[in-house]
Amino acid sequence: MMTLLKYEILRRWKWLAFRYIALIGLGVVFYNRAAATPMQYEIAAASMGKFFLISLIVFVIILVEGINMLKEDLFEQSGYLTFTLPKPGRSILFAKNFLLLIQLILWVIVSIQFGSMFLKFLPLEEMSQFMSEIDLNIYPAILFFLSAFFNFVLMVQFSLTLTRTLLYRNKYSGIISVGIFFLLAYLIEQFYYGLFLVRVQHIYSEIAGEIQVDLISAGYSSVVMNIILSVIFFTATAYLLERKINI
Amino acid sequence: MDFNHNIPIYCQIIQQIKQDTVLGRLKPGQKMPSVREMAGKLKVNPNTVQRAYLELERENIVFTKRGMGTYLTKQEDIIHSLKKELSGKVIRDFLEGMNQLEYSNDHIMRVLREHLEEGRKINGTYFKKQPIK
Amino acid sequence: MEHILKSSQLSKYFYQKKALQKVDINIEKGKIYGILGPNGGGKSTFLKLAAGLLKPSEGEILIDGKKPGVYTKSIVSYLPEGNYFYKWMRIQDALSFFGDFYADFDVEKARQNFDFMKLDEKEKISSLSKGMLGRLKLSLAMSRNASLFLLDEPLNGIDPISREKIITSILEAFNPKSTIIICSHLIVYIEKLLDYVFFLSEGQIILEGNVEDLRNKKNLSIDQLYQEVFQS
């Protein structure tokens, strides 16, 4: 897996380095701008807003590239190189997603770090309650975010792989994989969340000893379900890659 | 060496080696190139060369010394009969050609004598007429 | 005689198209095979099935007695058509790549091949001409000590000098422990290399045989035989 990871990084190291340097660099720039005028909240807010925008753009880039990592090998000539390597499908898939995870963690750390630095410039009275709430919920929120993110990505990867398995060299592959994705999303929404969310919440509440239908319990059960779904999609995709695809 | 691809290549290799032997390009007892060397030089499949060598060994034209390689035979009588075999083929081809031109046997003998007496060089680079005795 | 590759009733269908129909092919170790036929006849499909990139629709294919998977990929060296390298790679990156992933890859041999093929390690692969790319692909593929080499149209669109180098390289890499399967529709250049041929058209084997025996029997070169067979 390490060799696969090495080459996934080498494949795009310039882009990787660039985005983080840009993110951190611009973060510093905007921070200094805000720090230069400590009492002018509008400037601080504007700088913070701009930083969040950059951060969001970088997030989208990470997401799109994350999906592209698999799409490239499934639909382009480089697939001949990747899929004749003596490595199981799950290792190839894992390496790509592991790189994605590292990137995401980096992004989260950088964004939150700068975010909290920016928040210090805003009016103290308004912010203190907001800050304390964030402090409490930040880790579950991150967990939820990561699990939801990977659920999404793995579902997309599964759709892409399924399309490649079912269709060979079809020009509608892109549209069809989107279609499969939405179909899966709908099915999951209807059956999985509908039926099981209530169940898991019920179990949690019984364990916790009290019924708490607030954000945290809903969050944790969603995390669990996201993780379960992620594992299912990962396994299914790895299986398809190993046994069923036609490149 | 350019090969005619209509006939088995190993046969052509055998022919070439036989010719080289008779013409003295290969000396009796000389070490033959290894199968790989020969294949590389001729740009052919090593198995083809191997088949040629095996066939030649069957005919006792070459022999293999364990761990040392393949050698051309030293036996004069074998080389001699090889010369006979090759010249026999040349003559048979000649006779077949003459028969196709509808020359009778007597006519063939007459024409042959004429050519020999005139002392024409077969390769045609120069012609030296000698008086008919 | 052990078979390094054995296909039984192997079939592959793409929607309506029958790329391969119940093909039985047995490949023995230590020989150079040619799978010849017109474009779209199933040659590439067969190689891809052996390489593990395609899965059989029916029947089976076994490499060294095993279904295509991680093990077979480690003993098979596959050379596809086209540029399959990652776009960021220089030649030296491809060298490290192969060295890292394949235990049987001989880096020294590859460097010697690069010398022979006049390839400069610092060059970007995307900027290579078709001939040089062909030389690179072959150098890398043949630098593995694989049990089975699958070469898909190695001489396509290659200039005469590159062609000669590629042929020499194939011969040099060949040894009794390895087997080479070459797919081509340019028979003239490779027929001297072949032990055995399969003529494949529309997914079926039309003719097969030992090359020298075929020459002997038919008094034709394989190229001429091919033209005769596919004219009809």
ipTM of the complex: 0.91
What residue of B is the nearest CA neighbor of C187?
A: B5
pLDDT tens string C95-120: 999 999 999 999 999 999 999 999 99
Same domain? For A95 and A48 the reply is yes
Domain boundary among the residues A72, A98, A122 is at A122
Q: What is the domain count for chain C?
A: 1
The 8-class DSSP code of residue C124 comes to B
Choosing from A122, A152, A177, the residue where a domain stops is A122
Domain match, A106 and A169 both: no
Tokens 């490649």 correspond to what residue? A164
Give the DSSP per-residue string, A74-88.
Answer: HHSTHHHHHTTSSS-
Residues of C in contact with B7 (CB under 8 A): 215-216, 219
Identify which of A7, A83, A86 has the shortest CB distance to residue C53.
A83
* Closest by Cβ to C55, choosing from A3, A7, A244: A244
A224-246 per-residue burial string, b: 16 or more CB within 10 A, e: under 16: ebbeebbeebbebbbebbbeebb
**Domains of chain B (ranges, CATH numbers):** 1-102 (1.10.10.10)
Q: Are C212 and B5 a contacting pair at CB < 8 A? A: no
Interchain pair C54, A85: CB under 8 A = no
Report if residue A110 sits inside a domain.
yes
Residue A141 and residue A117 share a domain: no
> Which pLDDT score is estimated for B126?
47
State how far the alpha carbon of C169 is from the alpha carbons of B25, B44, C96, C133, C163, in Å. 29, 12, 21, 15, 10
Instruction: Give the residue from A122, A152, A168 where a domain finishes.
Output: A122
- Measured over the CA atoms of residue C114, residue C115, residue C121 and residue C123, the dihedral's sign is negative
User: Is pLDDT of C7 > 80?
Assistant: yes
- The CA-to-CA distance between both ends of chain A, in Å, stands at 22
Instruction: Tell whether A104 and A164 lie within a shared domain.
Output: no
Number of domains composing chain A: 2
8 Å CB contact between B9 and C192 = yes
Q: Is residue A128 part of a domain?
A: no
Q: Give the C-alpha distances (Å, rounded to integers) separating B61 from A201, B30, B51.
A: 91, 11, 14
C152 band by pLDDT with thresholds 50, 70 and 90:
very high
User: Would you say residue A127 lies in a domain?
Assistant: no
Residue ranges making up the domain that contains C169: 3-231
* CATH number of the domain bearing residue C88: 3.40.50.300
Q: Name chain C contacts of A168, Cβ cutoff 8 Å.
A: 14-15
User: Are both A23 and A113 inside the same structural domain?
Assistant: yes
Chains adjacent to C (≥3 CB pairs closer than 8 angstroms): A, B
Q: What confidence score (pLDDT) does residue A213 get?
A: 46
Q: Are residues A105 and A10 in the same domain?
A: yes
**Tell me, what's the pLDDT at A211?**
45
Angstrom distances, CA of residue C19 to CA of C10, C14, C43, C115 = 10, 7, 9, 39
A141, A231: one domain: yes
Best of B1, B3, B5 to mutate (most C CBs within 10 Å, chain C):
B5
Residue C146 clears pLDDT 90, i.e. is over it: yes
Asked whether the predicted pLDDT for residue B128 surpasses 70, the reply is no
Which chain B residue lies closest to C211 (C-alpha atoms)? Answer: B8
Q: Are residues A8 and A61 in the same domain?
A: yes
- Residue pair C28/C1 in contact (Cβ under 8 Å)? The answer is yes
Cα C94 versus chain centre, distance:
19
B-chain residues near C224 (CB < 8 A): 5-6
Q: What is the mean pLDDT of residues C128-151?
A: 93
In-domain check, residue A131: no
A132 assigned to some structural domain: no
What pLDDT shows up at residue C66?
94
The answer to whether B5 contacts C174, with C-beta atoms less than 8 Å apart, is: no
Structural domain including A205 reads 137-247
Put simply, the answer to whether C215 touches B5 (Cβ < 8 Å) is: yes
pLDDT of residue A218: 59
Residue of C nearest to A169 (CA): C14
By Cβ distance, the residue of A80, A85, A87 closest to C80 is A80
User: A100 and A11 in one domain?
Assistant: yes
Is A17 among the domain residues? Answer: yes
Same structural domain, A32 and A82: yes
Nearest CA in chain B to C167: B43
Q: For all residues of chain C together, what is the average pLDDT?
A: 92
B and C touch per CB criterion (3+ pairs under 8 A): yes
